[in-house]
Amino acid sequence: MTAAGGLAALAGSHGVVVCCGSGGVGKTTTAAAIAVEGARRGRRACVVTIDPAKRLADALGLAELTNEPSRVEGDWPEPGELWALMLDTKSTFDGLVTRYAGSPEQARAILENRLYRNIAGALSGTQEYMAMEKLYELHADGRFDLVVVDTPPTRNALDFLDAPRRLTRFLDNRVFRLLMMPTRAYMRAVSVATQAFLRTISRVVGGEVVADAVAFFQAFEGMEEGFRVRARRMEELLADPDTAFVLVASPRRDAVGEALFFADKLRESSINVDALVVNRLHPRFGGEGGQLREGAEAVRARAESLAGTPLAPFYANLADFRQVAEREETHFAELAARVAPAPVARVPFLAGDVHDLDGLTAVGRWLFA
Amino acid sequence: MDAAGFCTQTRVLIVAGKGGVGKTTVTAAVARMAAHAGLDTLIVEVEGKSGLGAAFGRDDPLTYDEVELAPAIRARTLTPDDALLEYLEDHGMKRVSKRLLSSGAIDVVATAVPGIKDILVLGKVKQLERAGTADLILVDAPAAGHAVTFLTSAAGLLDAVRVGPIRAQAQDVMDLLSDPARCQVLLVTMPEETPVNEVAETAFKLEDRVGIALAPVVVNGLYPPCPGLDEVSVAAAAEAADVALLPGEAEALASAAAFRRDRMALQAEQVARLASALPLAQLRLPFLFTTELGLHEVDTLAAALASGIEAL
């Protein structure tokens, strides 16, 4: 299997593709290009994006956050389709609450709680969790052969793996659960220490905050199990062989460092990297199969030996790019070795941002050549 | 203005920018520039993860305890969890602080009062500022959209929490952020479409919501000029130099020259777009073709920064 064939095969065969990597490395574009490739292969593909640049969002018909995929017109072979969705964390969470609530009253009590609104809007990990939730939902609903998800740029790019577990842990919170117990048990269970502890919290952040939290956990009562089951199913989906992980990186040293870290973490979670995409590689100019085989140093020396002639700047410029390319190659090789035998795709520095289907197809030529 | 003047305008300088634009590199360069101007700097890293050490040739990660990265440059981390623990300990809650953390109750509190951790981090920065711990305190802010959240959380909290020590803390933080004599933000971007759009957006949000003073914007990664690529063709240059080129060589030289010209034109276009979108002076830093980032390169950037500041 050639490297490029590997990534194309992935768009053609897997049910779920998760694109991960640090911020600013071209994850969103890569995810969209993989979905386009799926559609080109006659699959019904949907891409879930987190925070696309505005013009790409416009090109995909994503004028605003939606909770439902919208169809992107294109010349796909039957029965190929392309759909896209820009994740709306809050309404995805609301949908989940409504689904698991025992009654409309319970759902309303939760949705109106101030703590809940903060969880849905600001709790770290919620966006990751909801990206996974949306992925799970779209995968399960049977309308799509391929769901590609872009992961949020976070401090720790692995947050999305832990997110379901972290949220269930949050919802399980023991201190607050003690307060939810019926009155008499409450008297026994809430020890003096716990009361002191809650008083402390009240003193620092105000009693309202504690009251909101208690009200939230009371309203949430009985729903934790549903969330736990859901979280377990998401973990199963991530571990399923039908789910592929694509690690996206750029060849800068810091980005490569993060990608290496990421690859190790995935392995610790028993997840293989199924493909590696390295974006924004500088070209080497004439180095591939051409006659100009010397390294940057030799080219630099040539520039110096020609100093004063009009040819010198041309060699100096070539030496500059050779030097960058060699450095990037070292980083690239290290990363490729770490994820071996995963296929790798190289995408060169492109002239501008990708804003339309033609641009995505152009990226695809490098990804799936 | 000279480098010393720039570095002493405010004691706190917050460096912010989207991932991949070189925020940490710029932080290192500002610290070196300050050191060369005879000032001592404390770098505060708030995410607990940074390539800052590498820029100074160190492999070990930064810690909560200060380390000296170079003469007159110290650095430490100050993560939200660090700040919270320290706050609790300072407020006579040392005994319960461990339990707050281990029980997860802290997550509930932090969620119930969004931004509380950011406020505690900035509150600690304020404390360091008041203690005069260094001539310059450089805060390596969280990446991307997190930076706006980080800097606007105090304003949000003042609306949400009516009384108590946290409100007082938020007020202190607001006082710091909105005082142009004490604090300013140095935004970093790259001459590319998305980073330019984002930096302009961030700048306006910070100005509108926090009223924070903005330093000139740093444009990082500009290809330095390579004069002589435009005047003649490769073939004419070879003839003039009396050099016989190998097969393929002319094409490689010409396409490399064209690539540089094209990218420089694109970069110039983005720099101009930034200038019209964001009425801030620009400090331009070169893309470094030659080597991996290390102290030598940081110094090159520090020098470029200093000459940009002198030209302001």
Distances (CA, A) of A342 to A25, A255, A275, A277: 19, 19, 5, 10
List the structure tokens of B44: 């505060």
Q: How far apart are the first and last CA of chain A?
A: 13
Residues 6+ apart with CB under 8 A from A286: A292, A318, B248, B249, B251, B252, B253, B255, B256
Cα-flanking dihedrals φ and ψ of residue B221, to 5°? 90, 30
Interchain CB contact of A288 with B (< 8 Å): no
Identity of the residue in B103, B108, B116 whose CB atom sits nearest the CB atom of A213 = B108
Residues of A in contact with B21 (CB under 8 A): 24
Alpha-carbon torsion A181, A186, A188, A192, what sign?
positive
* Residue B52 β-bridge partners: none
Interchain CB contact of A15 with B (< 8 Å): no
Burial group, residue A344, by CB count within 10 angstroms (0-12, 13-18, 19+): buried
Identity of the residue in B226, B237, B252 whose CB atom sits nearest the CB atom of A285 = B252
CA distance A352 to A26: 12
Peptide bond into A341 cis (omega under 30): yes
Residue A132: what pLDDT?
86
pTM of the model: 0.88
Q: Domains plus CATH for chain A? A: 3-282+326-367 (3.40.50.300)
Q: Domains plus CATH for chain B? A: 3-223+278-310 (3.40.50.300)
CB neighbour burial string for B204-225, b if at least 16 within 10 angstroms, e if fewer: ebbeeebebbbbbbbbbbbbee
Peptide bond into A79 cis (omega under 30): yes
Interchain CB contact of A316 with B (< 8 Å): yes
Residue A369: what pLDDT?
79
Question: What is the rounded average pLDDT of the residues B93-120?
Answer: 75
How do residues A130-170 score in pLDDT, each as one tens digit?
888 899 999 998 999 999 998 876 555 566 777 777 777 77
Residues 6+ apart with CB under 8 A from A84: A32, A35, A46, A47, A48, A49, A60, A61, A62, A69, A70, A72
Higher pLDDT, A56 or B178: B178
Cα-flanking dihedrals φ and ψ of residue A275, to 5°? -160, 155
Quick count: other Cβ atoms within 10 Å of Cβ B185? 25
Question: What is the rounded average pLDDT of the residues A328-350?
Answer: 92
Residue A191: what pLDDT?
60
Residue A3: what pLDDT?
42
Residue A156: what pLDDT?
58
Residue B147: what pLDDT?
78
CA distance B76 to B268: 37
B21 and A312 in contact by Cβ < 8 A? no
How do residues B262-295 score in pLDDT, each as one tens digit?
999 999 999 999 999 999 999 999 999 876 778 8
Interchain CB contact of A310 with B (< 8 Å): yes
Give the residue from chain A lying closest to B23, CA to CA: A254
Which residues of A, range 183-212, sit inside 8 Å of B by Cβ? 196-197, 200-201, 203-206, 208-210, 212
In the DSSP assignment, the letter for residue A15 is: S
List the structure tokens of B207: 């100005």
Burial group, residue B182, by CB count within 10 angstroms (0-12, 13-18, 19+): middle
- Closest among B64, B127, B141, B65 to B91, alpha carbons compared: B127
Question: What is the rounded average pLDDT of the residues B150-174?
Answer: 82
Identity of the residue in A114, A213, A311 whose CB atom sits nearest the CB atom of B238 = A311
Residue A183: what pLDDT?
47
Closest approach of chain A CAs to the CA of B173, in angstroms?
A: 16
Q: How far apart are the first and last CA of chain B?
A: 7
B144 and A255 in contact by Cβ < 8 A? no
Cα-flanking dihedrals φ and ψ of residue A300, to 5°? -60, -45
Residues of B in contact with A203 (CB under 8 A): 164-165
How do residues A241-286 score in pLDDT, each as one tens digit?
999 999 999 998 778 888 888 888 888 888 889 999 999 999 888 7
CB neighbour burial string for A57-66, b if at least 16 within 10 angstroms, e if fewer: bebbebeeee
List the structure tokens of B294: 């290390």
Please, are residues B168 and B74 in contact by the beta-carbon 8 Å criterion?
Answer: no
Residue B238: what pLDDT?
93
A204 and B91 in contact by Cβ < 8 A? yes
pLDDT exceeds 60 at position A63 = yes
Please, are residues B16 and B202 in contact by the beta-carbon 8 Å criterion?
Answer: yes
